[in-house]
Structure 1
Amino acid sequence: MERIDQHIDQRVENPMNDELSGRVSHAVRDAVRAELAEAGQRRRVMMYAGAGAAALYAGAAVALALGLVLALGMPDWGAALVMGAVLGVAAYALRTAARPGKPKGPEVPPMPSTPPPGATGAPR
């Protein structure tokens, strides 16, 4: 029994064991932190997905309500057609706004650095 106690005492006091156990505990701690961070990111993505689905249903409810209001003054099929056209125009506008590139606007020709020949610059 004394031999086992001596062997255990030698293993506990060995600096190599301290360094190895420190490395292992550090590696485990880092792995657990990485897993928790990844789980947090997954949760955040799922929350954004849920918010997007809720926004989609909210938009559909608003479109339905507007269609029903339009249906008070025109035939049902006409109200549905108008709402379809409005939503189509909105989708096209959003797609155009989301595309990268320079915004469309009036193009102004560049100003010449020197006046054209024969121009006096005096007002008439």
Structure 2
Amino acid sequence: MSKDLKDILSNLSKDIDQEQLLMYLNDKLSANDKHLLEEQLLDNDFENEALEGLQAIQNKQHINHTVEMLNYELKKKTAKKKAFRKKLEIKDQAWIYIAVFMVLMLVVLAYFVIHYLKTKGQ
């Protein structure tokens, strides 16, 4: 089996062996093992729905292609989100610090000038 198929199935319950699940999909398990696996999957709705979806695929060779396409689309979407977040990030720009420093210096200078003019006028 493809490594990608095993990777996408790695998020399933730790109680369910990935190889056993793949053998189940390819009808290589005994009836007793199939029954035990189905009982384990009934406990989790998400895993049960995932298995039903995988069973709905008629040609099992399409599973590998589907997994590859899902991984490709997922990587593409996450790359877009990552680029968008990076675009929104505040960059460390020196001119911002210089502008803030200059405004503060002007405020302090204005205070001293006003204070000096008040004391000189008295």
Q: How high is the TM-score relative to the length of structure 1? A: 0.39
Larger radius of gyration: 1
> RCO higher in 1 or 2 (8 Å CA, sep ≥ 6)?
2
